[in-house]
């Protein structure tokens, strides 16, 4: 309270955070987050201030995250993979056929189950994959498929019956 006996407006502190993580080729990813704090003196302006902050943060993150920086070339051999023989394909690895998906069979099954449980057409999920990762659904690598699954669960919810015996 002010010394004059009148109520002074109480400032409300709003804190907004926006983060984005992108899967990139060669099992790489990058993320970027911004947080901002501001004060609002008028309670009736909280919704407007919140929407404005969110838009500003989203635009800033979306603009700045486009600069990916260093990307692995894909030529580096992972420490856990056997060296490739002179002929090309490492021993114990099978070549994918054109009908196979690049992600794991469990990821493929989970994506298909989420599509089925939530009534999502193939074209909807295919468009999500193309928008987010610039490739087709079957071409998603494990990292990208994981990102797609996270986004599907965040948007539509988890698999029905998951976690039950």
DSSP 129-155: HHHHHSS-GGG--HHHHHHHHHHHHHH
Q: What is the pLDDT of residue 29?
A: 80
Q: How much is the mean pLDDT over the chain?
A: 77
Q: What is the pLDDT of residue 78?
A: 44
The model's pLDDT over 84-100, given as tens digits with 9 standing for 90+, comes to 444 444 444 444 444 58
Number of structural domains the chain divides into: 2
Alpha carbons 22 and 71: distance in angstroms, whole number = 12
- Domain-located, residue 136: yes
**44 pLDDT more than 80:** yes
- Domain-located, residue 53: yes
- Domain-located, residue 138: yes
- Domain-located, residue 43: yes
**124 pLDDT more than 80:** yes
pTM (2 d.p.)? 0.41
- Domain-located, residue 89: no
The model's pLDDT over 5-29, given as tens digits with 9 standing for 90+, comes to 555 567 889 999 988 888 877 777 8
- Domain-located, residue 27: yes
Range of the domain at 31: 12-64
């Amino acid at each position: 309270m002010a010394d004059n006996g009148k109520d002074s407006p109480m400032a409300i502190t709003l804190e907004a955070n926006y983060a984005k993580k992108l899967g990139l080729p060669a099992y790489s990813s990058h993320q970027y987050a911004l947080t901002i704090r501001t004060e609002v003196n008028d309670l009736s302006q909280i919704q407007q201030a919140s929407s404005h902050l969110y838009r500003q943060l989203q635009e800033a993150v979306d603009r700045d995250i486009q600069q990916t920086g260093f990307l692995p070339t894909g030529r580096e051999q992972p420490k856990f993979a056997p060296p490739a023989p002179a002929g090309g394909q490492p021993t114990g690895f099978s070549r994918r056929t054109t009908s196979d998906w690049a992600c794991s069979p469990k990821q493929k099954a989970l994506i298909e189950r989420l599509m089925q449980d939530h009534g999502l057409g193939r074209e909807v999920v295919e468009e999500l994959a193309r928008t987010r990762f610039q490739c087709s659904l079957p071409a998603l690598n494990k990292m990208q498929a994981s990102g797609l699954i996270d986004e599907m669960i965040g948007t539509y919810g988890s698999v029905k019956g998951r976690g039950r015996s």
